[in-house]
Each structure stands twice: as C-alpha cells, then as structure tokens.
Structure 1
Amino acid sequence: MSALSPDDILNGYINGIFPMAEADGTIYWYSPNPRAIIPLNAYKPSKSLRPILNKNYFEIRIDSDFEGVMRGCAAPRTKEPGTWISEDIIESYSELHRFGYAHSVEAYRENRLVGGLYGVSINGVFFGESMFTVESNASKVAFHYLIEILKHNGFRLLDTQFINDNVLRYGAIEIPREEYLDMLGKALKVKARFNGVPFTQGVQLN
C-alpha cells in the first residue's frame, strides 16, 4: 500500500498543495508563496535548440516509460545533495499514472531513454514535477513538446511550484499564492485532456 493514495494527491493539487519527501522518507505538503508558473504563451525555444528540433535528433514518446522517467528524476545530481522523490513518491505517482492523471514526455536516442519530464494533469492544469537529462538538450526537447501538447489541448496553467535556474530558462515567473489559487480555480473549470499532438514529427504515442 503506497503512502499516498491517488485521491490524496489529486485533492492536494486541487487545493494548491503538493507532496515532497525528506531524506528520511517523511512526506510533507507544500504551498509556496510566491508560486512559480510558466505562462504557456511566453515560451519560445532558444535559437540553439531549434536546429535540434528541426533535425528530430531525439525520438519523443508519451507515457511509454513513466516510472523510468521518475527514476531518472530521482537519480543523484552533482549540484543537489538529495532527492525529494522517494520510493513512496514513485509508487504513488505511478499509481496515479495508471489512473490516467500523471504523464511523462520522454526523449530517446537509439531506443535509450536519455531525458524527460513528468507531471500531473487535472482538467486545464498541468502540474510539472521534475525533469532529468543524461544527454545534452534531451530534457529541453521534452519540455518543448510538453508545451506543444498543452497548447494543442487547451490547457490554461502550467505550474512549476518553485523558481530555480532550470525553470527560469523556460520563462518561469513568480506570482503571489492568492493569485495562483485564483488562476488554479479558473483553470480547473476548463475541460482539457493530456493527449499527444498529432502534427509533431517524431512523436510516438502509447
């Protein structure tokens, strides 16, 4: 039995909070103030990324290896002493994935998973959780396709929780928690589904 049920996680997100695990495995709920979001219309791929996108350097798959992406995100990183993605978190979100709420966008080279990201989709909101890369630009390409998917399917809000250098490069901004909760409430009323984008080349859907 996982530490968090799908209902626990979904109810948390709907109310503006999300879980993270400490080094000892204890899970706490967070509601940052200010909150970080990425305005969907603000994102533009960098000039250096465009040739990689045009050449379809990576094969993109959707929901092909959700747990693999989570474990890639949970792997040790040079600049970070620990991870908030515990085994309980992996088990809980994998269960949420099986229910159709958690999704991954994955980048492959020669049939090997080399980067990706995952998050939770509820109506018109995508709650971005984490991303990883083991090959240069892999997570950037996965993020580009995430934006394409969200725009194509009419999503209204991309939540990134905390501000950091990684999300800043994608156009993240901080807003007061009350403003975020207002945006969240409106976006949750929008009916949207996380479906793959049919017109993107090199995208494999499962």
Structure 2
Amino acid sequence: MAIYLPELSAHDVSFPAVQSALTEPDGLLAMGGDLSPARLLNAYSQAIFPWFSQGDPLLWWSPSQRAVFAPDSLKLNRTLKKQLHRYQLHFSVNTAFAQVIALCAAPRAKQPGTWILPKMQQAYLQLHLQGYAHSIEVWQQDKLVGGLYGVQVGSLFCGESMFNRLPDTAKLALIVLQQHLQQVAPGWIDCQMPNPFLLQLGATPLPRPDYIVLLQACAKQQVPASHWRAGPLAPELLDA
C-alpha cells in the first residue's frame, strides 16, 4: 500500500501537525527538508525528531508513545555499583561530544548499520556548538568507554543515542545524566520510542498528547548554560 507523506520545503522550517502522523509505521510524519539547527530546534519543540537510514529520504517522526524517564526514576543498583568500582570509572559532561556521537554511530554486534549518518553527526555537532546538544562521557582512566548525547529543550533532555565499550556504562551515563539535571531541574529525560531495554530500566510509555503537555511545561523552565560547561562531573554525583 502506498504511503503519502508531506514533503517539507527547503526554505520553510515548519512541520505538519503531529496529529497527522501515520499510525503505520507509527509516528511517521513527513519527509525532506534539511537538518539545519533552526529546523531541528523547531522539530524538538513540537515533539518531532529525524530518523532515517542510508538510502532513505530524510524522515521525521512523532510516535504515538514516547519513552520517558520521570524524575528520580534512574537509580544505582548493586550491580551497577560493582561495575562502577570494578572498572574505576569517572564521568564528564561535554568534553568529547564528537567522539561520543561517532561511537554511538559505530557498528554494533547485532546492528551492523547505523542511522547516525555523517550528515546527522554534523547536524548535531552544530547544535552542540550552539549550546543546544550535550554529551555525558564515561571514562576508564583516559579511555572513553561509554556515553550518550541528546538535545536540551528547556528542562527536558531529549536523548538521541548511547553506547557501551564496557558493560553497563551506557546505563551509568543515563543515571549520571539524570542526577546532573536534577541539580537545576526536575530531571525529565525523553528517549523517543519505547523498547524493551528502556522499559527494563524504568522508562514509562507516555502517549503523545501527554508528552506534548510535558514538553510545553519543560520548555518554560530553562537550565543555565553554565550547567553544561565542559568538564569533569563530581565523583559524589552518583551518591545523590
């Protein structure tokens, strides 16, 4: 069956109403346009994000359910505490954004391809340079072994991707992210589409209308730019 998708203009960064997104595949909203900072920021402010593979047109999505971590929902359990001390890990913010996104894009054992194509990497690097996209890094000595990146919309962190080079380091990065956010904000994290991994970690599926209410409320609560200043994160952060 043929799918009709609105095609975005190269000169207009607006989007169709998210209520017009398809139900199959869930959330597919539009195609085309570009990955300029202005369009990306407009997308995130309306519960929309880009996701496409090599050879596909640029596709934009607003799924009917979002995977969201509520404040205080990410905790350090006994297993993670053991991993933290076993590998002698430490953490930082925004010190290796380009490396984090490149490692998120690297082939994985059960996923040889990637949707984080070079033009996606460049687009989010531009958002990072403008102060809108951020990374959390996990280090073992001077080796980057885990991390994540995403886009900040007010007090809501919209996570894009994460990676492990040691067991559980992506989980630890997620916990550190929420603890870091909760120093200045409630600590909401959006992880886009629900999947078994996110649900096992404690993510809650949130219907699109409810997510939009949350997004609009968070957009009014700004996080100080200084909170994302590049540097190490306090060792006691995980004890919070």
After TM superposition, the score normalised by the length of structure 2 is 0.77
User: What amino acid is aligned across from residue 84 of structure 1 in structure 2?
Assistant: W
Q: CA deviation at 1:27?
A: 1.8
Name the CA distance, whole Å, in 2 between partners of 1:111 and 1:181: 40
User: For structure 2, which runs of at least 5 residues remain unmatched after alignment?
Assistant: 1-33
> Which stretch shifts more, 150-159 or 28-37?
150-159
Q: CA deviation at 1:169?
A: 3.0
Structure 1 consecutive aligned stretches of length 4 or more whose deviation exceeds 6 Å: none
Aligned counterparts, 1:68-87, within 5 A: 68-87=99-118
Quick check: 1:22 aligned with 2:53?
A: yes
**1:40 counterpart (54, 71, 87):** 71
Higher RCO (C-alpha under 8 Å, 6+ residues apart): 1
User: What amino acid is aligned across from residue 235 of structure 2 in structure 1?
Assistant: Q
Equivalence for 1:153:
184
User: What amino acid is aligned across from residue 115 of structure 2 in structure 1?
Assistant: W
CA contact (8 A) 2:105 2:114 kept: yes
Aligned counterparts, 1:136-151, within 5 A: 136-151=167-182
CA contact (8 A) 2:64 2:207 kept: yes
SS at structure 1 position matched to 2:212: helix
CA contact (8 A) 1:118 1:129 kept: yes
Name the CA distance, whole Å, in 2 between partners of 1:114 and 1:137: 10
> Which stretch shifts more, 54-63 or 190-199?
190-199
Equivalence for 2:136:
105
Name the CA distance, whole Å, in 2 between partners of 1:123 and 1:107: 24
> Which stretch shifts more, 85-94 or 153-162?
153-162
CA contact (8 A) 1:60 1:202 kept: no
Quick check: 1:177 aligned with 2:208?
A: yes
Q: How many residues align?
A: 201
Name the CA distance, whole Å, in 2 between partners of 1:45 and 1:178: 31
For residues 92-141 of structure 1, what are the alpha-carbon distances to aligned partners after superposition, in whole Å with 9 as ceiling and x for unaligned? 00000000110000111131111100001121110011000111122222
User: Residues 165 and 190 from structure 1, CA distance in 2 versus in 1: closer, same or farther, beyond 3 angstroms?
Assistant: same
Equivalence for 2:235:
201
SS at structure 1 position matched to 2:54: coil
CA contact (8 A) 2:185 2:223 kept: yes
Name the CA distance, whole Å, in 1 between partners of 2:232 and 2:167: 26
Who wins on radius of gyration, i.e. which is larger? 2
User: For structure 1, which runs of at least 5 residues remain unmatched after alignment?
Assistant: none
CA contact (8 A) 1:34 1:177 kept: yes
> Which stretch shifts more, 7-16 or 161-170?
161-170
User: What amino acid is aligned across from residue 81 of structure 2 in structure 1?
Assistant: R
CA contact (8 A) 1:107 1:114 kept: yes
CA contact (8 A) 1:155 1:192 kept: no
Name the CA distance, whole Å, in 2 between partners of 1:84 and 1:157: 25
Equivalence for 2:160:
129
User: What amino acid is aligned across from residue 50 of structure 2 in structure 1?
Assistant: P
